[in-house]
Amino acid sequence: MSAKADCLVLFGATGDLAYKKLYPALHALQKRGKLDIPVIGIAREGWSLEKLRERIRASLTDAGVPADDEAAKQLLHCVKYVHGDYNDPSSFDHLADAMKDVRLPVFYLAIPPGLFGEVVAALAHHDLTENARVVVEKPLGRDLRSAEELNQALAAVLREDQIFRIDHFLGYEQVQNILVARFGNSILEPIWNRRYVRRVHIEMTESFGMEGRGSFYETVGCLRDVVQNHLLQLVCMLAMEPPSSMDAKCITDEKVKVLRAIRPLEPESLVRGQFDGYRSEKGVDPESDVETYCALRFEIDSWRWAGVPFTIRAGKAMSRTVTEAVVEYVAPPRQLFKEVDGAFEPNRMRFRMKPDDLIQLSLQVKQPGDEVLIENVDLSVHYSKQLGQSGPAAYERLLGDAIIGEHRLFARADLVEEAWRVVQPLLDNPPPVEPYFQGSMGPAGAARVLPPNLLEMLSEPQVVAG
């Protein structure tokens, strides 16, 4: 692990991301004694330091932080402000003056991706990047070509170890626990392969729609928004080989191998959907072909997984909000026992991230009584109830890691490009969107690619209070 940074420079300090996510994360780090460095906010608007502090106070108030909170006072005290236009070289002169005693800065680019190359080049021109770490937010390109161009622009002035490509999904405690469950328990490894696993399904559905973000969604769609990044990362964690260590390079190397074993997806492997009413959303084209739903099926051509179908379903305005991965095992070679109600349920391993944090293993047991009847039961671990805490929030964890130089939860250039390579044919030649009703499970055509027993695979989540 590298040395701790001695300054955080936040580009886009007055923006929505900073307000909703970054300032509460910085406060949480300060509260745990993990910050204690100057924070310099830089943005185009001609604000004053006091106005920036007022916005930070409002952000923390919205996040439920009391007005007299000591960590909030400490955070506000260490904040500085630099007014700047990213196209004006003098802005970076002012920033350099504010950083004259800084030796190891973190630059967080909470700005449109189109400005990444321009801002990084300007920082390098002013000799501010030699020892710097640079955090860039998704989207990391819109397709394979733009992702390659972005990586080239960053690589022109930065080493790969200086770049922190953030995907907040990887900061979730429950996502990280997949690696611990897989590689910290010897009972799973012998049956985590094509001989014993029948199929793997990943679900990321939301019961809400655009919530005023229609104009943004028109520029991305479901495939770019969550499948290419979040959900393919989840596939990697479920399918990767054991890394030789928990070092960032070793973990990323194994993830890249997974993506390279997936052939570029063909349009017939994807069903795109659009919920009824999307085209009436503010900022949405009345004839929009943007998908609010994706269902896809693919295989991983590796020794471990050859022949095992992996499926993904993601969508908005669905019947429920759930994010989970389900590993379904093959059935016993013979069924010796009577099932209750004539139904036999295969063993399943479930990793759920929303709405509750859960690991669950389903088993067949004997029902009490004279007859030998089997019934499915679940062995479950709810983190918040049984471990007593939920861990740091995603942005708190990732900001803290960037400050100390920990790369494990950040994406490397080749990982980003391989994920785009997998979905690129779907972007080049997308099938038409199919309509579905709000509150449903998506378009009927999704049955072409999804498991026939999907309803049985998906349990109804019950949120457990901590």
pLDDT in tens, 432-465: 999 999 999 999 999 999 998 888 888 666 544 4
pLDDT in tens, 18-54: 999 999 999 999 999 999 999 999 987 778 999 999 9
pLDDT in tens, 340-362: 666 678 899 999 998 888 899 99
Domains recognised in the chain with CATH numbers = 7-137 (3.40.50.720), 170-390+432-457 (3.30.360.10)
Catalytic residue from among 83, 168, 201, 230:
230
What H or E segment, with its residue span, contains residue 294? strand 293-298
CA–CA separation, 31 vs 49, rounded Å? 22
Structure tokens at 434: 């199919």
Q: How confident is the model at residue 173 (pLDDT cuts 50, 70, 90)?
A: confident
Angle at 336 between CA 330 and CA 340, to 5 degrees: 85
CA–CA separation, 177 vs 387, rounded Å? 13
What H or E segment, with its residue span, contains residue 400? helix 394-404
Q: What is the pLDDT of residue 343?
A: 66
Q: What is the dihedral of CA 67, 69, 72, 76, to 10 degrees?
A: 70
Q: What is the pLDDT of residue 372?
A: 79
Sheet holding 270-275, edge to edge: 338-339, 373-382, 358-366, 348-354, 322-329, 197-205, 310-315, 293-298, 270-275, 433-436
Residue 159, beta-bridge partner list: none
Distance set, CA 380 to CA 139, 316, 352, 358, 465 (Å): 35, 27, 11, 7, 14
State the average pLDDT for the chain. 92
Mean pLDDT (whole number) for 62-86 = 93
Known active-site residue 230: yes
In the predicted structure, residue 69 carries a pLDDT above the cut 60: yes
Q: Which residue bears the tokens 């379904």?
A: 328
Most confident listed range (111-115, 177-181, 446-450):
446-450
Structure tokens at 212: 């005023």
